[in-house]
Amino acid sequence: MTTNPATLVLAGTPIGDITDAPPRLARELAEADVIAAEDTRRLRRLTQALGVTPRGRVVSYFEGNESARTPELVEALVGGARVLLVTDAGMPSVSDPGYRLVAAAVERDIRVTAVPGPSAVLTALALSGLPVDRFCFEGFLPRKAGERLSRLRDVAEERRTLVYFEAPHRLDDTLAAMAEVFGAERRAAVCRELTKTYEEVRRGGLGELAEWAAEGVRGEITVVVEGAPERGPEELDAGELVRRVQAREAAGERRKEAIAAVAVEAGIAKRVVFDAVVAAKHNT
């Protein structure tokens, strides 16, 4: 049972419109003993906009110092402090700093709670026009093209709606890779500058969206992609499966990736394609 009165508070902050700040946020900012902020300058602008003067100590807590700063914040918690964690926008820990601190606090049996706030993930999902009953959040894709394709192939058969974050200067490459792996006609929505003055939600097929993004896009980006359609297995014999894998290998794909891609195309388990390839190798 937790006996230490200290508390770690994860506070959601506006993703654009400052008036979206949850009512509790101002009180927590005013009363916290320590405020750990991803960007102390943005925190200052936030407190000024909310008319709040923090009484507690303000420290930076971002990707570059997260590992080193976490023990210091845990010690403050152990000593009975109320520590408030805020990131630049949205909820801490969701593709932002916070996970390490939460895990460390839980390990020390310290209470962790949250001030719920705006979420780019849920906002984009709601606005996308795509199914929202089941979804999964994939965060940022790898920057390198090969790693990005591999990650996308891992979820090519995912039936749930997919949600991604992406940098504007990589959006066209990401959408083109999605069109290649998921299919150019797979429906998607690019949500830009959510809740801000120039908010835009662009909907269409992945191929169409990739062409649009090639012209250049600015702002904070969230991409929502329709899940894989349900389909019966394609009637292909083992020889055809092997030929398709070989064709992909000849085009430069690694065998593992080629097998996964052919399985997706045929609507069958990867093991079936793998077994066909192994049997063909033994028969040559």
pLDDT of residue 281: 81
Q: Confidence band (pLDDT; 50, 70, 90) for 44?
A: very high
The type of residue at 176 is A
Mapped onto helix, strand or coil, the DSSP state of residue 40 is helix
Report the C-alpha gap between 265 and 182 in whole angstroms: 10
Instruction: Decide: 212 and 171 in contact? Cβ < 8 Å.
Output: no
pLDDT at 234: 59
Q: Are 224 and 203 in contact (CB under 8 A)?
A: no
Mean pLDDT lowest among 84-98, 203-217, 233-247 = 233-247
Sign of CA dihedral 169, 171, 174, 180: negative
**CA 103 distance to own-chain centroid:** 19
Domain 121-225: homologous superfamily in CATH: Tetrapyrrole methylase, C-terminal domain (3.30.950.10)
Rounded to two decimals, the pTM is 0.78
In 3D space, the residue among 20, 104, 27 whose CA is nearest the CA of residue 61 turns out to be 104
Topology (CATH) of 7-118: Cobalt-precorrin-4 Transmethylase; domain 1 (3.40.1010)
Q: What is the pLDDT of residue 47?
A: 96
Mind listing the pLDDT tens digit for each residue in 207-232? 999 999 999 999 999 999 999 987 55
How far apart CA 87 and CA 14 sit, in angstroms, is 10
Q: For the chain, give the percent of residues with pLDDT over 90.
A: 77
- Tell me the C-alpha distance between 213 and 166, whole Å: 12
Q: What is the DSSP string of 114-170?
A: EE----HHHHHHHHH-S--SSEEEEEEPPSSHHHHHHHHHHTTT--SEEEEEE-GGG
Tell me if domain 7-118 and domain 121-225 are identical in fold: no
pLDDT band at 2 (very low <50, low <70, confident <90, very high): very low
Average pLDDT over residues 94-106: 93
Q: What is the pLDDT of residue 1?
A: 41
What residue segments make up the domains of the chain, in order of their start? 7-118, 121-225, 238-282
Residue spans of beta strands (DSSP E) within the chain = 7-11, 34-37, 57-60, 82-86, 111-115, 135-140, 161-166, 187-192, 200-205, 221-225
pLDDT at 3 > cutoff 60: no
CB 62 within 8 Å of CB 84 = no
pLDDT digits (tens, 9 = 90+) for 112-145: 999 998 999 999 999 999 999 999 999 999 999 9
